[in-house]
A and B are shown apart, each in its own frame.
Chain A
Amino acid sequence: KNQVEQSPQSLIILEGKNCTLQCNYTVSPFSNLRWYKQDTGRGPVSLTIMTFSENTKSNGRYTATLDADTKQSSLHITASQLSDSASYICVVSAKTGANNLFFGTGTRLTVIP
């Protein structure tokens, strides 16, 4: 069964600290993996999209890694800011099938001063 699991479910960190969010998936055959940031009351915004051959991709203070062998991805946030407070959603795309996008339920990150 194609699934995407994220951990932790929620996280509180101090401003300026780093954090890492995890995404494990069982989606097969794998096409790509995306990380989205969703502020409360707004639509998700794409942070990174990685294909099988990419194992690291950065977007400013956000760095995503992908291990296609172990089917794991992480999103590392460096020097967190209050504006990083949001839900982070991992989405994995499969190459075949009628419904090809599989969503994690997200990690709720709160950055406190």
Chain B
Amino acid sequence: TAGITQAPTSQILAAGRSMTLRCTQDMRHNAMYWYRQDLGLGLRLIHYSNTAGTTGKGEVPDGYSVSRANTDDFPLTLASAVPSQTSVYFCASSYDRAGANVLTFGAGSRLTVL
């Protein structure tokens, strides 16, 4: 089934360690996004990429970095994790950046930073 694959599904990480959350889509969507979802705060955009080779900052980019070397992959890296980065992370994609295009979401990666 076409869609978005996120890995790992769940991870416990010691503070100060680095971590990369992986996201791969097979729909040939141009635009990809990383969100975090926290109780009481809802979904917030971390970084996005409108097309391969370009990235942009969302609402809460600090402490995170992304790369978009090709159309299919959009990894999210935490260089030095802190407890406030404990969250559920969702990768999403759309055909292009236009808001008229429906977003497709992955199943999420639950990260706990101790």
- Do A and B originate from a single complex? no
